[in-house]
Amino acid sequence: MSGRRIGVYVCQCGGNIGDYVDVDKVVATIEHEPDVVVARSAMFTCSDATQQEIVQDAEEQKLDGLVVASCSPKLHTYTFRDVAKRAGINPFQYTQVNVREQCSWTHTDDHEGATEKATRLVRAGINRTRLTEPLEPIVVETTPKSLVVGGGIAGLRAALGLAEIGLSVFLVEKEPRLGGWVASFGAMYPHGRNGAELVAKLEEAVRANPAITVFTNAEVMSKSGSFGNYQVTIAVHGERLETITVDVGSIVVATGFETYEPAAGEFGYGIDGVVTLPQFKKMVDGSAGPLTYNGRPVKTIAYVYCVGSRQSKDVEGGHTYCSRYCCTAAVHAALEVAAKADLSVRQYHLYRDMRTYGKYELLWNESREKGSLYLRVPDDEPPAVEKIASGGLKVTTRDLLTGGEEVAIPADLVVLVTGMVPRENDELVSVLKLPIGIDGFFNEIHPKLRPVETIVDGVYICGACQSPKNSAESVTSGLAAVTQSGAILKRGFAELDPMVAMVDTDACTWCDKCLEACPYAAIEQVDEDGKAVASVIRTACKGCGGCVPVCPTDAVDLQGYTDAQVKAMIDGLLEVTCS
């Protein structure tokens, strides 16, 4: 007995846990653990009623430790930290035990085993909680300035948004001009407004805003400092190279995408008259009247969808994701063609699945009424594109909607509806330590709940560098990054988790092994009474624990997950249960 007073709550999660784990049995077993003064089961621990019950128990029973056994800590760590706070318990003396993803859902075929495992997991959580110390969040003052990397539509709008909430902004663009891809677009869906005009307006507003400093022909060279206070060096290429270092509190990455370039021969690419969607878009934007190609009127167009998207896993380096914007972009291009000609232009769309989601469905409907015919083609039989003797093109495919009839379409022009691919940006990735997802795009922490945050605090991603997006979605995410920046910079300070490494300077001999192990450059050498020792930069440390096992003198420990706590958890997991 350590004199601690711990409350334990085991969740049924409706039937998610309760159908496989005998929650009442778990509670009956662990309520006899030392220091446990309250143990209860709940249908939904995250519900308001149960949260209130925890607060009430804490007051009545003078709890100083809390264990919630429910779902993944990814979901509800912050929920129950808040509950702990309201209950007067230090939020870092609460332990989240995962008995759903790591127990009930994985052992649906073994109720007894799942119950036994849940008991052990909860006991481990109690053992950790017993050894917790109250911790306070690390408070850092933040610099009220932001850096935006990339001057496309997302970066421009983000820069303007940041300036509008009263922050100073540095906007870095690699190219000599601002505007990105959208600056090269004519009419864009859904409103048909001109892309170049759209970003020109945005650029004008950005240039006119005194809070925004624009660097074109510029690149991010290095980053130092830590959350809330980064020093970023920017190289500006001009007649001579200039480097500028700026202090910023947040970094918004909006570096955009590349378009997929088909290989020679892929769907006939390389044959005269076979063009990609961006090339086609330029042709349509540039023609005042009916579309012509090589001086001849274009009467029939065949669109081949999903070129470079939704590729098979077997394709080396294939892009397996849906590129999201291309269906609607192609449908819109077809409408532009119809608007510039009469309706006699016949347009055949060879698709795998039409994904003109949401409001864009209306465009699809309209195109159907204006000379577009949609043919569903098999996933595993790509349409064949070839040149025919008369000089035109022929696309052969099977139309699944007529039960797989083989159809040959004579076409004047074949448009390969190409998607977005991630841009190669190795230098920026290594400077900013940007996380890359399986598709090669930058990765957010949580696609729903933290959609623009990265694992690097204060570094946000938006626009198509994160995933294929249309311009509206890019701007939306750019503004989300503005809000996130505002949340940490407008308050003047930010709070960080105190679950970071700490050094016992008596034991440390500065061998620099921890420095080598640290992926976040969070260890520095300091002098303590004439002795060189390691010190943790608490605002840079992510609490990964990489430095702990490499220390030859056991001088490093992780606050909140100390060796002693982890050992106690292992003991709890291994304890023999008598039932």
Partner 1 sequence: MTALANPRLAVELDRSDEFNADACMNCGVCSAICPMGVDVQPRRLFRYVLLGMEDRIAAETETVYSCLLCKMCEENCPSGVHIAENVRTLRHHINRTVFGL
Q: Give the residue among 35, 62, 36 at the shortest CA–CA distance from 26.
A: 36
- Show Cβ contacts of residue 578 under 8 Å, excluding neighbours closer than 6 positions: none
| Lookup: tokens for 505 | 């300077």
Q: Which is closer to partner 1, CB of 108 or CB of 402?
A: 402
Q: From the CB of 402, what's the least distance to partner 1, in Å?
A: 5
Nearest to partner 1 of 348, 460 (CB atom): 348
Exposure string over 129-140, b if 16+ CB within 10 A, otherwise e? bbbbeebeebeb
3-state secondary structure at position 179? coil
117/107 Cα distance (integer angstroms) = 10
Residue 258's DSSP bridge partners are 421
CB of 471 to partner 1, least distance (A): 28
**Do residues 488 and 142 lie in contact, with contact meaning Cβ atoms separated by under 8 Å?**
yes
Taking the least distance from each CB to partner 1, the nearer of 401 and 521 is: 401
Residue pair 458/251 in contact (Cβ under 8 Å)? The answer is yes
3-state secondary structure of 319: coil
- How many residues are given for the chain? 579
Provide the sign of the torsion angle of the four alpha carbons 447, 449, 451, 454, taken in this order.
Answer: negative
Gap between the Cα atoms of 178 and 198, Å rounded: 12
Q: By C-beta, is 384 or 487 nearer to partner 1?
A: 384
Nearer to partner 1, 197 or 342 (CB): 342
Q: For residues 327 and 190, what is the distance between their CA atoms, to the nearest angstrom?
A: 12
- Which helix (H) or strand (E) element contains residue 478? helix 471-489
Task: Write down the least CB distance from residue 189 to partner 1, Å.
Answer: 21
Report the nearest approach of partner 1 to the CB of residue 392 (Å).
12
Instruction: Give the max Cα distance, the chain.
Output: 92
CA distances in angstroms from 496 to 72, 219, 223, listed in the order given? 21, 29, 20
CB closer to partner 1 out of 237 and 368 = 368
Nearest distance in Å: CB 199, partner 1: 36
Query: Smallest distance from the beta carbon of 374 to partner 1, in angstroms?
Result: 9
**Cα separation, 218 vs 178, whole angstroms:** 11
Q: Is the CB of 66 or the CB of 291 nearer to partner 1? A: 291
CB of 322 to partner 1, least distance (A): 20
Least gap, CB of 473 to partner 1 (angstroms): 26
CB of 375 to partner 1, least distance (A): 8
Give 395's strand partners. 385, 409
Residue with tokens 């330590």: 433
CB of 464 to partner 1, least distance (A): 30
Site residues for partner 1 per CB under 8 A: 300, 344, 346, 348, 368-369, 373, 375, 396, 399, 401-403, 405-410
Q: Are 535 and 523 in contact (CB under 8 A)?
A: yes
CA 210-215-220 angle, to 5 degrees, is: 125
User: Looking at beta carbons only, is 384 or 449 nearer to partner 1?
Assistant: 384
* C-beta closer to partner 1: residue 393 or 488: 393
In eight-state DSSP terms, residue 263 is P
Residue 363: which of 336, 386, 394, 396 has the closest Cα? 336
Nearer to partner 1, 56 or 344 (CB): 344
User: For residues 408 and 526, which CB has a smaller minimum distance to partner 1 in the complex?
Assistant: 408
Residues 6+ away with beta carbon under 8 Å from 101: 71, 72
For partner 1, the closer CB: 34 or 404: 404
Least spacing, CB of residue 373 vs partner 1, in Å: 5
Cβ proximity to partner 1: between 129 and 397 the closer is 397
Smallest distance, Å, CB 102 to partner 1?
43
Q: Give the closest residue to 93 by CA, choosing from 138, 58, 142.
A: 58
| Cβ at position 351, least distance to partner 1 in Å | 12
Which residue number, 300 or 328, has a Cβ lying nearer to partner 1?
A: 300
The amino acid sitting at 288 is A
CB of 369 to partner 1, least distance (A): 7
Of 385, 388, 379, residue with least CA distance to 320? 379
Q: Are 507 and 555 in contact (CB under 8 A)?
A: yes
Are 538 and 480 spatial neighbours (Cβ–Cβ below 8 Å)?
A: no
Q: Strand, coil or helix: what is 257?
A: strand
Local structure of 458: helix, strand or coil: coil
